Structure 1
Amino acid sequence: MLGALGQVVMYLVPFLLVLTVVVTIHELGHFLTGRLFGVKMDRFSIGFGPTLLSRTDKRGVEWRLAALPLGGYVRFAGDLDATGVPDRKGLDALKARIQADEGPGAERDYLYFKPVWQRALIVAAGPVANFILAILLFTILFSAVGVQLRPPRVADVAVESPAAAAGFQRGDLITQINGRAVEDGRDVIRIVSLSSGDPVRFVVERGDQQVQLVATPVREVTQDPIAGRVSIGRIGLGLASARDEIRHVRYGVVESVGQGVRQTGEVLSTTLTYLGRIFTGRENGDQLSGPIGIAKASGALTNAAVQANPDPTAMAMNLLLTLTSFAAILSIGIGFLNLLPIPVLDGGHLVFYAYEAVTRQPLPAGIQEAGFRVGLALLACFMLFATWNDLQKLNLFQFLGGLVS
């Protein structure tokens, strides 16, 4: 019983901690940009549910710590509906109410009566804050810890594999993929895993020669220690760097910022590539994860960090570094998800504001309501699909089937 409880704690606590930090930064992006433009706000909450601590500042904003650490939110004064983009009738009613309570001109302090470009910036500031957080965290990791670069040296070529058919040989050093220079074996794995069915162009260093090879990855199901059971592209190469080839690089502050931007861009690029392949039928989407999968990944990372070194100081440092890296990845994911043009998300609000900027009036209430319902349905379908993936990777259905039989 205690062992099971310990596993629950190992999986849930790091996930909730990181999620709360990342979502709080997202909401701070909205909040600080709103304050920059003089928008009146009622509440900034860390967590949901019953209030644990609360205080109201001199601007009338309630700062609140709630019982459920599942993120947080900022509530702008005068919120009318769930879409956050009221139509003309709703705006007129809100304006009349504000003027009756606070006097003429008071409506100018409310979000809905700010110029559309300011509202758009306030909405976009949430995802932007997530990307800035990721860059900052990556910068800290690159400057304080650095990175270990393992050149992609070919140690083994599987028989009758795409790599063997392409002409790879043991000892080849991969220097380019699809015209892009590579220094680390992880870059090779990342690109190949998302290229099943597509020819991949390699340049390898063989002795004093540069040899060009083309291999087409085939999709294989594999058990990843973090992600679980997933299908990825493989060409049948085993990579292993010689001891004297492995380099540990720590970057200066300026270089670390550049590396942080590059790393954030690569994560976004990989995400877009994977989603594009799903929509074109070249991936089945089994790498998409919901809360269960993300919690499992955070638990696995935490467990690995704890077991890496029994020394308490080293254990704490490994745990801190692991959660920092996890927070950066999760922050990018939340920022990207919120930019999708779905009405209930920030991206959907930006679409509404774009319409308003062009037509000089907000969308009619009926269209907003329909968009809101469609957006909720899309999000529900996405969460169901991602949760199904998570349960499949955990082999839950096979387990239940065994119980029934």
Structure 2
Amino acid sequence: MNETPGFLWTVLAFVAVIGPLVFVHEMGHYLAGRLFGVKAEAFSIGFGREIAGFTDRRGTRWKFGWLPLGGYVRFAGDMNPASQPDAAWLALPADERNRTFQAKPVWQRAIIVAAGPVVNFLLALIILAGFAMAYGEARMAPIVGAVQPGSPAALAGLRPGDTVSALDDRPIAQFDDMIRFVRIRAGEAVRVRGKRDGQPFAVNATIATDVQRDRFGNEYRMGMLGIVGDTPVYAPVSALRAPVIAVRQIGQIIDTTVETLGQVISGRRSVKELGGPLRIAKVSGEMTSMGLAAYVWLIGLLSINLGFINLLPVPMLDGGHLLFYAVEAIRRRPLEPHVQEWAFRGGLVAVVTLMLVVTFNDLGAVGLWKNLAGLIG
């Protein structure tokens, strides 16, 4: 039975998920700016016309925009992407000019820009560490407990009791390492190395495609070897060890994201799998309907992705600014304004193109194209 939440619940869930993430990200920029004495003129959650807000005693306008797809902090003096002084900036009184973003040395500007993604990772670390303390650490050795008949593992000759030590060149320490490796490599050939009765062995297998459908009607295609592990053991996690586990999990999520993006770029994975705001809204509605734990977990996962994406060296994103600051630090002067202008134009084209692609995919994910095809047919 399809349990997809209604439209209103989906919208509210999307706002409840995206709002805190945007607030945390922009608060990172804001606090770092405050630390270095930069005046913030506006702190906005959402874009477009203001629907509510107030001005604090420092002159910062805190507001909500009608389009809840992001947010921004506008610092004084942040007049153009290249942070080049112009006549208006030079005309400011010295004290006021010193409180602008572009008056700060490059290392301070870099910290202010990097603070947004960094705070996203810190939020995810707190959430994942909390889950580790609440539910424990799952431990399951990479030992074959059973082999599904007719599966790639069975065809490769794997047997119960075999220990898997590596898949291709990837070392396997826990059963979960094997799951993560296989899940994103449907249809690919893999070299399985391990030990049987104390003796090393190596066999070839082709990862199968396992099509699964969840309670909301979403269909997932994942890689499958057909190996069943033993029952995992959940060990208690101390407050000191929890952050270590969280950091490891963040690294694993980023690693999987990088590999998946690489597969899309190389053509091994369909670009249709890329999603945007509409798909995030759909997932938000589904996850929040599953309870508080699922909602918090989703925020942690999206926070990692938001931090990672913003650090990509693409103009228009935080990573693009950091790249320019790195060049400025090496050259001891900023890149020429026209170079930065063309770079930002290229970045804008790339971002807009990506948004069009993911929006097209999102509309397909919510069934629009299928419904239109049905009406036309």
Q: Is the 8 A contact 2:106 2:325 kept in 1?
A: yes
In structure 1, C-alpha distance between the alignment counterparts of 2:252 and 2:178, rounded to whole Å: 13
Report how many residues are paired.
Answer: 370
Unaligned runs of 5+ in 1: 306-318
Normalization by structure 2: what TM-score?
Answer: 0.87
Q: Confirm whether residue 136 of structure 1 aligns to residue 144 of structure 2.
A: no
Pair 1:172–1:390, CA change in 2 (3 A): farther
In structure 2, C-alpha distance between the alignment counterparts of 1:126 and 1:382, rounded to whole Å: 22
SS in 2 for 1:98: coil
Unaligned runs of 5+ in 2: none
Pairing of 1:83-232 with structure 2 (within 5 A): 83=81, 85-87=82-84, 91-99=85-93, 104-149=94-139, 153-159=144-150, 161-170=151-160, 172=162, 174=164, 177=167, 178=169, 180-184=171-175, 186-195=176-185, 196-203=187-194, 209=198, 212-218=201-207, 220=209, 222-225=211-214, 228-232=218-222
Partner of 1:336: 308
CA apart distance, 1:224: 4.6
Q: Return the letter of the residue paired with 2:136.
A: G
Partner of 1:262: 248
**Percent identical across equivalent pairs?**
37
SS in 2 for 1:53: strand
Q: Confirm whether residue 285 of structure 1 aligns to residue 271 of structure 2.
A: yes
Partner of 1:380: 352
In structure 2, C-alpha distance between the alignment counterparts of 1:360 and 1:330, rounded to whole Å: 36
Q: Confirm whether residue 399 of structure 1 aligns to residue 371 of structure 2.
A: yes
Q: Return the letter of the residue paired with 2:328.
A: E
Q: CA RMSD in A?
A: 2.8
In structure 1, C-alpha distance between the alignment counterparts of 2:336 and 2:202, rounded to whole Å: 57
SS in 1 for 2:6: helix
Partner of 1:367: 339
In structure 2, C-alpha distance between the alignment counterparts of 1:365 and 1:380, rounded to whole Å: 22
Q: Return the letter of the residue paired with 2:130.
A: I
Aligned counterpart for 1:239 among listed residues 207, 212, 228? 228
CA apart distance, 1:70: 3.5
CA apart distance, 1:215: 3.8
CA apart distance, 1:78: 2.2
Select the structure that is richer in helix. 1
**Higher mean C-alpha deviation, range 147-156 or range 290-299:** 147-156
Partner of 1:51: 51
Q: Is the 8 A contact 1:179 1:201 kept in 2?
A: no
Q: Deviations over 1:18-50 (max 9, x none)?
A: 111111111111111111111121122233432
In structure 2, C-alpha distance between the alignment counterparts of 1:404 and 1:358, rounded to whole Å: 59
In structure 2, C-alpha distance between the alignment counterparts of 1:219 and 1:388, rounded to whole Å: 28
Partner of 2:34: 35
In structure 1, C-alpha distance between the alignment counterparts of 2:284 and 2:32, rounded to whole Å: 31
